[in-house]
Structure 1
Amino acid sequence: MSKTTNSFNKLAGEVVYKPKKIKFEVNTFEDALLLIDDIKLMCSEI
């Protein structure tokens, strides 16, 4: 089930932004870009 086309197989981590903690797990580079956009939106709403 391994994908060699992606630059990375899985990126998982945690972003802590007061007072919210965002847990994420992405499987593709596109997912990572979408996640970054979501975090930017959340940070701008606070």
Structure 2
Amino acid sequence: MTQVELAKRLGIKRQYLCRILNGDRSGKKYLSDIRKILEIHE
């Protein structure tokens, strides 16, 4: 899955997703959804 696809599924801009992935933003609001979409289990 590309960053563009993931951002679309999250309903955010790709640039904001990049900031989350780079650690510039916490992304707490989206963390659970990112895990579900990417099938990452805690």
Higher relative strand content:
1
Q: TM-score, normalised by structure 2?
A: 0.32
In our comparison, the structure showing a higher alpha carbon Rg is 1
Higher relative helix content:
2
Q: TM-score, normalised by structure 1?
A: 0.31
